[in-house]
Amino acid sequence: MDMNQYLSMFIDESNDHLQSLNESMMGLEANPEDLSIVQVIFRSAHTLKGMAATMGFEDLASLTHQMENVLDLVRNNKLRMQDFIFDTLFKSLDALESMVEDITGGGEGKADVSAIVASLQAIVRGEIPSAAGAAAEVAAGAAAEAPVFLDEFQYSVLEQSLQEGHKVLYVDVAIRKDCQLKAVRAYMVFDLLERSGEVVKSFPSVQDIEQEKFDYSFSLYYITQKEASEIQAMILNLSEIDKVTAVALDQESLRQMGQEAVAATAEAPAPVKEAAPASNASPASAAHAKEETGKPAPVRTGGAPSRTIRVDIERLDVLMNLFSELLIDRVRLEQLASEVQNTDLTETVEHMGRVSGDLQNIVMKLRMVPVDTVFNRFPRMVRDLAKSLDKKIDLVVTGAETELDRTVIDEIGDPLVHLLRNAVDHGVEGIQDRLAAGKSDTGTVNLRAFHSGNHVFIEIEDDGAGINPQKILQSAIKKGILSQEQAANYSDDEAIQLLFAPGFSTAEVISDVSGRGVGLDVVKSKITSLGGNVVVYSTQGKGTNFSVQLPLTLSIIAAMLVRLGSEKYAIPLSSIVETGIVKHTQIRSIHGNKMVEFRNSHIPLVSLSKIFSVPDYDESTEEETEIVVVRKGERLVALAVQDFIGQNEIVIKNLGKYLPEVQGISGATILGDGQVALIIDPNAFIK
């Protein structure tokens, strides 16, 4: 069977599963007792394993298989989640992700996962090789004290032996720590026991003991005719044996041990947590978070499957392009119809206009994607980052369902990553500093997305130390961005915006997280290139808020077409306040700048023909001038034009890579007659 046709489906679904695994793991970390999340994780892992095996990606399948083993123990209450297990599982997810990435890039999905597989297997065996050596010993000790749990088969064998009059012993053997060849000693114990009975079950397993994978002690269930004391003495006769306890079991105690076994193993890892307080910061902070917000982590249960189909992004782009062409033709048709003055034609064209309007809405909606597709990787990123920086940070995401045009979504990821890293690295203080400032040790980073008018806002707010405007100014002067005199005129708010100036980085210590100097200016230019804006607000001691404003869509806007001599320009309707006519006599000259009166105040009059050096039009020769009043924030400017042509939906095209950025021009569009008209960027005229 040819698998290639399924490959893209496999990649898509794998990514979905990995994402849901990541999310569920985060949820579980915040809520380690919630076994329903484990079920969700288990199902995802299981599906992933099945798909990988079918597609022949063996490494992928085997790694997921090991993860499944661990998860299986957890969901059956045989293992309790703890830091080390979380870390290993997260590492496994990273490995899986890189494998899927490799497959996406046309690779075989092969990777050396032996280290991760080994630690997963160790977890399944009940060994917790925690980073702290002490913890490992405690864990081993705890495991040794706990009776070995038996499966059903072994239990029934023991029970039967008892009924037949044999004796069942539970034997704990400890070998002296200075023993050189502990595996050999263990073998001798086994050999001795096998001579006068049968070992039903040992912990660790016989294979592990043979490979010295045990910690100087082991325990076993043993069927024999001899008395417990006899066996104890026999074993003690061997050299280098430290301690032996042999306990005879009756049916009652056997049953009890069988039941307790489960509970005991579940309790066993508990001492590890106390032994390694340094490494269990995250469950603690998670618990803390729960107390504070009082809201459990969202659990994603498999609700009703939405009826969707996957469509190649390129096809959507083609659809969009075709639709743009149609729109151009529609505008052309409208022009022709108005010239011909035929009622039937006009009606048909009007109807077509309405239909294409609806069509446009649908096509635009198709391209809208919830910001969640970008946000969903952030919780994991912030978690890892906070851990590596030894900080406690809660990321609170709101408005993830807010929708944005796909082109914006594609581009906004990197700038947001940068801002979030900043918030975690520079924004939120270290635990000590936070406590010293009288704050809770856990910092909060809010990631918010919401609609407002024709824009979507994404805010990243931390409750950290805030920004010191004076420090910014000093740094800017030192770096030659500002002169001392200029700096004196800066308000605090203006000073903070200097963060976005090229070549600015306030980090006193350059960490590998952020602060390499290429920073916020790149973020800013990226966001501006998307037609958006970013500003920063900060209150010292309270925190910092980066607010990113993005346009809802990039490709089609309503615009006013104007004429300047033989040239046509488009002005985005969203920034137009009003159009009007002013007489020559109404234009005043103030300090050499032309101003006109507008709503009881005077606003600057900008001559587009002069700025664009239009060859065949000059408004100063006219008695009356048409003006378009445009707005940027609170500021208004009047643009002088020759004629208004009308209002149109226009498709935004860029000017091509070759053209350097042209001041006052944000792009181009194709008119109904096939000519190119430039789109004016009114913001450029308002300083």
Partner 1 sequence: MAEDIKVIVFKLGTEEYGIEVEKVQTIERMMPITRVPKTYSFIKGVINLRGVVIPVIDLRGRFGIEEAEHTDQTRIIIVAVNEMEVGFIVDSANDVIDLNQDAIDTPPDVVGGIKAKYLDGVAKIGEDRLLIMLNLSEVLNKNEIVQLESLEG
Give the footprint of partner 1 on this chain (CB under 8 A): 321, 324-325, 328, 567, 611-614, 653-660, 662-665, 668, 670, 674-678
Q: CB of residue 557 vs partner 1: minimum separation in angstroms? A: 16
Active-site entry in 22, 31, 280, 422: 422
The continuous run of DSSP H or E covering 397 comes out as strand 392-398
CA–CA dist 652, 6 (Å, integer): 36
CA atoms within 13 A on the CB side of 214: 28
Active-site entry in 46, 65, 288, 455: 46
Strands 167-175 and 217-224: antiparallel
CA–CA dist 629, 634 (Å, integer): 12
CA–CA dist 652, 349 (Å, integer): 23
Sign of CA dihedral 35, 37, 38, 43: positive
The continuous run of DSSP H or E covering 365 comes out as helix 343-366
Residues 6+ positions from 518 with CB-CB distance below 8 Å:
none
Q: CB of residue 325 vs partner 1: minimum separation in angstroms? A: 6
Residues 6+ positions from 178 with CB-CB distance below 8 Å:
240
Residues 6+ positions from 9 with CB-CB distance below 8 Å:
310
The continuous run of DSSP H or E covering 400 comes out as none
- Tokens 């309405």 -> residue: 354
Question: Is 593 annotated as catalytic?
Answer: no
Q: Give the residue with the Cβ less far from partner 1, 598 or 612.
A: 612
Q: Give the residue with the Cβ less far from partner 1, 192 or 655.
A: 655
Q: CA–CA distance from 39 to each of 25, 176, 232, 240, 454 (Å)? A: 11, 43, 44, 46, 42
What DSSP assignment string belongs to 625-678? EEEEEEEETTEEEEEEESEEEEEEEEE-B---SSSPPPTTEEEEEE-TTS-EEE
**Cα dihedral value 313, 316, 318, 320, nearest 10:** -140
Q: CB of residue 587 vs partner 1: minimum separation in angstroms? A: 23
Question: Is 422 annotated as catalytic?
Answer: yes
Helix-helix angle 378-389:406-422, to 10 degrees: 20
- Tokens 């103030």 -> residue: 590
Q: Give the residue with the Cβ less far from partner 1, 591 or 657.
A: 657
Active-site entry in 13, 68, 230, 403: 68
Q: CB of residue 621 vs partner 1: minimum separation in angstroms? A: 20
CA–CA dist 272, 84 (Å, integer): 10
Q: Give the residue with the Cβ less far from partner 1, 478 or 658.
A: 658
- Tokens 């400890």 -> residue: 174
Q: Give the residue with the Cβ less far from partner 1, 159 or 317.
A: 317
Q: CB of residue 417 vs partner 1: minimum separation in angstroms? A: 25
Q: Give the residue with the Cβ less far from partner 1, 268 or 630.
A: 630
8 Å CB contact between 502 and 521:
yes
Q: CB of residue 321 vs partner 1: minimum separation in angstroms? A: 7
Q: Give the residue with the Cβ less far from partner 1, 647 or 654.
A: 654
Q: CB of residue 666 vs partner 1: minimum separation in angstroms? A: 12
Q: CB of residue 658 vs partner 1: minimum separation in angstroms? A: 5
DSSP state of 478: H
Residues 6+ positions from 557 with CB-CB distance below 8 Å:
572, 573, 574, 649, 650, 652
Question: Is 602 annotated as catalytic?
Answer: no
Strands 392-398 and 442-452: parallel
Q: CB of residue 568 vs partner 1: minimum separation in angstroms? A: 8
Residues forming the active site: 46, 68, 422
